[in-house]
Amino acid sequence: MPKKVTKAIFPVAGLGTRFLPATKSVPKEIMTLVDRPLVQYAIDEARAAGIKEFIFVTSRGKGALEDYFDHSPILEQELRKKGKDDLLAILKNTNMDSGEIAYIRQHKALGLGHAVWCARRLIGNEPFAVILPDDVIAAEKPCLQQMVEAYQETGGNMVAAMEVPPEKISSYGVLDVKEDKGSIVSVKGMVEKPPADQAPSNLAVIGRYILSPSILQNLNKMKSGAGGEIQLTDAIAQEINNPDGQGVFGYRFRGQRFDCGSKAGFLQATVSFALSRADLRDDLYRYLQEVVEIDQAAQ
Ligand code: UTP
């Protein structure tokens, strides 16, 4: 039986240039889908999967992110005085207990692999999860929880995988599949951002991982890969041929993934999450219908 996964790394040190000028002063992960920051969705998903230690890899200018998880005594006192228990409960969900959360600085944005490596001393010799808060996944059972359950069967290293159309495949890490068992696929190779005609499959890796500590050793020895960055994909791919390793598996999760690192994905997620809210659905739905009708009439 593999060891329990209780630690998760949240790499949030990227520059977020696709959201400039907003990200000049607001960390991307604090931007809200309806009324919850991206990072709150990530934390909720991690908690549901049994994560107890939350490790953020941050960078300069991400102070708002650290403040977000702090207790806010004055605000709480005011809400309590006014009897606003519903808002107090929402706030409580954002608090982290002392020692539950850690922040590590990545001093230079040298890539996702490098960001994960920065957290090596806090991980030690245990399996760990990596969650990219940019990838928001709407699912009945949260994605990382699905993966943790599948990982109990496979051990080794597991990446979340989803099918992607050929014109988009070159934006992703792509799996070369050895054996396809439905939700779990065993992997014989991984390529970061291949040209569409060289992609080994249409199965792309997205931002959820369960990794063995040997990935950190692989990262120790690595130089930059595709795009001049230290790629996490390359460190995971090395485990495929590691005679002492326990293999690499892709997991086809059930759920809808939104790429909230892109403007289009962020807007789609906003609409989708708003439509799933009883307090917003009707008004928004009516508005969207009007917009479509006006647009169609104009054509
Ligand atoms: P992205 O490729 O989306 O980069 O990183 P980015 O800087 O966040 O955004 P753009 O492309 O400039 O708009 C994917 C994830 O990896 C983290 C990011 O914070 C994001 O969660 N990351 C990336 C790091 O933590 N460090 C890095 O050096 C690179």
Q: Read off the pLDDT of residues 149-205 as tens digits, 9 standing for 90 and up.
A: 999 999 999 999 999 999 999 999 999 999 999 999 999 999 989 999 999 999 999
In this structure, what token pair is assigned to residue 27? 């960390």
Ligand 1 pocket test: pick from 134, 205, 230 the residue with the most ligand atoms within 8 Å of its Cβ: 134
Distance CA 243, CA 135 (A): 32
Which residues share a beta bridge with 175? 190
Contact 285, 271 (CB under 8 A): no
User: What residue type is 144 in one-letter code?
Assistant: L
Residue the block writes with tokens 């917009």? 291
Tell me: do 256 and 225 sit in the same domain: yes
CATH of the domain at 224: 3.90.550.10
Distance CA 74, CA 80 (A): 10
Pocket of ligand 1 (CB under 6 A): 11-18, 57, 106, 109-112, 114-115, 132, 134, 261
Ligand 1 atom nearest the C-alpha of 261 is 3
In a domain, 1, yes or no: no
Q: Read off the pLDDT of residues 48-106 as tens digits, 9 standing for 90 and up.
A: 999 999 999 999 888 888 889 888 889 999 999 999 999 998 888 888 888 899 999 99
In a domain, 71, yes or no: yes
**Which residue's alpha carbon is nearest to atom 2 within ligand 1?**
14
Q: What angle do CA 209, 212, 214 make, to 5 degrees?
A: 125
Tell me: do 226 and 290 sit in the same domain: no
Tell me: do 64 and 142 sit in the same domain: yes
225 — pLDDT class (breaks 50, 70, 90)? low
Tell me: do 43 and 184 sit in the same domain: yes
In a domain, 184, yes or no: yes
Ligand 1 atom nearest the C-alpha of 23 is 13
Q: What is the pTM of this model?
A: 0.93
Please state the domain count of the chain.
2
Tell me: do 222 and 78 sit in the same domain: yes
Ligand 1 pocket test: pick from 9, 10, 12, 116 the residue with the most ligand atoms within 8 Å of its Cβ: 12
Tell me: do 288 and 200 sit in the same domain: no
Tell me: do 179 and 280 sit in the same domain: no
Tell me: do 131 and 141 sit in the same domain: yes
In terms of residue numbers, what domain contains 61?
7-261
In a domain, 55, yes or no: yes
In a domain, 2, yes or no: no
227 — pLDDT class (breaks 50, 70, 90)? low
Tell me: do 232 and 169 sit in the same domain: yes
Exposed, middle or buried by CB within 10 Å (0-12, 13-18, 19+), for 290? exposed
In a domain, 216, yes or no: yes
Tell me: do 190 and 275 sit in the same domain: no
Compute the average pLDDT of residues 236-257.
Answer: 91
Choose the weakest-confidence range: 59-68, 226-235, 236-245, 252-261.
226-235
CA–centroid distance, 12 to ligand 1, in Å, is 7
In a domain, 138, yes or no: yes
Tell me: do 136 and 275 sit in the same domain: no
In a domain, 152, yes or no: yes
Cα-Cα end-to-end distance for the chain: 61
Tell me: do 63 and 186 sit in the same domain: yes
CA–centroid distance, 15 to ligand 1, in Å, is 6
